[in-house]
Amino acid sequence: MPINKNAYRRYKVIDACLRNKMRRYPDMTDFLAAIEEKLDVNTTAETVQKDIAVMKKMPPDGFDAPIKFNRTKLGYEYTNPDFSIYGVSLNSYDVDSINEAIDVISSIGGSRVSEKFTHAIEKVLSNVQELNNKEEKRKIIETDYISEGRGFEHFDLLYSACRDRVPISFIHYSYSRREFKALIVHPVLLKEFNNHWYVIGFSEAHQALRTFGLDRVNAPEPIYKVFQNTSPHIIDEYLNDVYGVYPLRDGKRERVTLHVNPMITNYFRAQKIHPSQKVKMGSRGDAVITFEVIPSMEFVSLILSYGKQIRVVEPAHLAETVEKYK
Amino acid sequence: MDKKRDLLLQLNIVRKPNTNLVILRAVLSETYTRIDFGYVATDEYHRGGWIKMSPDSYLRTNSSEAIYKLTHAENIPLAPDHLHFESNKDWHYFSLFFEPIPKRSCKIDLIEVEHPEDTDFNYYGIIIDLNNAEEIIKP
């Protein structure tokens, strides 16, 4: 006979009581109080006795739960302390850890991952949430995001294409050249930078790895075609050498030197903006910061965002570009 | 040629003399022929002007007298409706669906207006070379 939903919710509360290391050997009063608190219903000792009897039954009627009344402690216990009706034993510490992870994932997942993923996460967490749903959900983590950006509807398709190595034909519009082009790209990676998503892949038209903003990708169509593999080494090089997404000029890595005023030196000392960053402090609190990096439009934007507090020492072409946009 | 396969051709044909309309792709399906376009607004008109498509548009091939009528349009209104741009830097992607042309290599004309002006969306001699076609993976 299938277990009805209300009974199953009570089993979960009884299970949680039996696994609560902070209040061991719960008695009937504890069960009744917990059910009332968690489920907001009144129940009787007789019902709980029946629930325990069902839980002790073999599957599929019950859970083969090793519940025993401890006469010394005058309370119930699992004779196997690792037992849980979920199959995987989770103690309160585990549940807290998962909930912390959920907060982080939910916070990011709100906009950056597909609805499908969010739904899957909810399914995974439905069991543990039962134990916490009495308390109103309070937001503790907030991340910076912009939801529903143009092109984000293609996220699932492009993700699958990267995973399954399927070439994609799509229409690309270049903001800078104001030009449409139908392209075939062999996608390898989805990248997020500054709340924008990009797909990186081998472009047949360019015969090289290229980055395309999802907001400029239209009507992607997966096609049957031999996938052009790009070695992980080349992908790593492509990703690691550039700050941001779109390289300037010929996309060559070079030394970049910035002079930074004391007011903002601490920001760079607190967090590297690129793995190659090195800070040499001056006696007055200013700093000379060097990078081995491919300068990009995003790098230019970063420099511009600090106004007069940063000066490009080298290379000259980067200094000129920054000046041009001031 | 398996009739049920959807074939995709990358075209990237810029129309002349006005180069701001591009035929990007053609999709040959059992039930329709789809043509994808990109349009970039210009300084020629205030706030980029407007676009529309004639509901009488059709395709014809160089291999027969048959015409393949426009069945519907995506992302572009059919006349008398217009899509008005907001600026002369706007851009727009749209698709036109026609009755299915035969799946064989040929040249096709897209006719919006029989006696066109430069602003009408007529294209002539679009090469459909099935040797360069890719097959679309259907969901």
A48 within some domain: yes
Question: Would you say residue A125 has pLDDT above 80?
Answer: no
Phi-psi region of A134 (alpha: psi -120 to 50; beta: other; left: phi over 0): alpha
Contact, A109 vs A115, CB < 8 A? no
- CB contacts, 8 Å: A169 with chain B: 8, 10, 25, 134, 136
CB-nearest to B8 from A173, A179, A221 is: A221
Question: Would you say residue A127 has pLDDT above 70?
Answer: no
Give the CATH number of the domain where residue A177 resides.
2.30.30
Q: Is the bond leading into A275 cis (omega within 30 degrees of zero)? A: no
Least confident of A33-42, A168-177, A181-190: A33-42
Contact, B48 vs B41, CB < 8 A? yes
Q: Could you give the CA distance from residue A109 to residue A274 in angstroms, rounded to a whole number?
A: 25
pLDDT value at residue B1: 56
Q: What is the residue-averaged pLDDT of chain B?
A: 91
Terminal CA-CA length for chain A: 74
Tens of pLDDT, residues A17-65: 998 888 889 999 999 999 998 888 889 999 999 999 999 998 778 888 9
Q: Which of residues 201-220 of A touch B (CB under 8 A)?
A: 218-219
A305 within some domain: yes
Into how many domains does chain A fold?
A: 4
Rg, Å, chain A Cα set: 29
Delimit the domains of chain B by residue range.
7-135
Measure the CA dihedral B72/B75/B80/B83, to 10°.
-170
- Segment A212-217 mean pLDDT: 94
B24 and A166: CB-CB below 8 Å? no
> Does residue A62 sit at the B interface (CB-CB below 8 Å)?
no
Task: Please enumerate in sequence order all residues whose Cβ is within 8 A of that of B110, keeping only pairs 6 or more positions apart, or say none.
Answer: B23, B35, B57, B58, B59, B96, B121, B122, B123, B124, B126
A85 within some domain: no
Domain boundary among A26, A57, A78: A78
B137 and A222: CB-CB below 8 Å? yes
pLDDT value at residue B67: 95
- CB contacts, 8 Å: B134 with chain A: 169, 184, 223-225
A83 within some domain: no
A59 within some domain: yes
B36 and A222: CB-CB below 8 Å? no
Most confident of A91-95, A300-304, B1-5, B13-17: A300-304
CATH number, domain B7-135, options 3.30.70, 1.10.150, 2.60.40, 1.10.3470: 2.60.40
B93 and A173: CB-CB below 8 Å? yes
Q: Could you give the CA distance from residue B5 to residue A282 in angstroms, rounded to a whole number?
A: 67
Domain boundary among A44, A78, A112: A78
A184 within some domain: yes
pLDDT value at residue A67: 94
Which is more confidently placed, A242 or B56?
Answer: B56
Question: Would you say residue B64 has pLDDT above 60?
Answer: yes
Model pTM score? 0.73
Phi-psi region of B82 (alpha: psi -120 to 50; beta: other; left: phi over 0): beta
pLDDT value at residue A222: 97
- CB contacts, 8 Å: B12 with chain A: 181-182
Tens of pLDDT, residues A244-269: 888 887 778 899 999 999 989 999 99
B134 and A181: CB-CB below 8 Å? no
A168 within some domain: yes
Tens of pLDDT, residues A141-161: 776 665 668 898 898 899 999
Q: Are residues A276 and A294 in the same domain?
A: yes
Question: Would you say residue A124 has pLDDT above 80?
Answer: no
Considering only alpha carbons, which residue of chain A is nearest residue B95? A219
Q: Are residues A277 and A321 in the same domain?
A: yes
Considering only alpha carbons, which residue of chain B is nearest residue A166? B137
φ/ψ (deg, to 5) at B117: -100, 175
- Segment B103-122 mean pLDDT: 89
Query: Quick one: three-class SS letters along B8-31?
Result: EEEEEEECCCCCCEEEEEEEECCC
Rg, Å, chain B Cα set: 15
Q: Could you give the CA distance from residue A171 to residue A205 in angstroms, rounded to a whole number?
A: 12
pLDDT value at residue A148: 64
Looking at chain A, the whole-number percentage of residues with pLDDT higher than 70 is 82
Question: Would you say residue A181 has pLDDT above 90?
Answer: yes
Q: Could you give the CA distance from residue B71 to residue B126 in angstroms, rounded to a whole number?
A: 20
Q: Could you give the CA distance from residue B109 to residue B123 in angstroms, rounded to a whole number?
A: 6
| Nearest chain A Cα distance for residue B26, angstroms | 10
Place of tokens 């597909």: A114
For residue B4, what pLDDT band results from cuts at 50, 70 and 90?
confident
A123 within some domain: yes
Which DSSP string corresponds to A163-174? HHT--EEEEEEE
Contact, A266 vs A322, CB < 8 A? no
Q: Are residues A95 and A17 in the same domain?
A: no
Give the CATH number of the domain where residue A263 resides.
3.30.70
- Segment B101-123 mean pLDDT: 89
Q: Which of residues 153-182 of A touch B (CB under 8 A)?
A: 166, 169, 171, 173, 178-182
Q: Could you give the CA distance from residue A188 to residue A210 in angstroms, rounded to a whole number?
A: 10
Domain interval for residue A120: 91-145
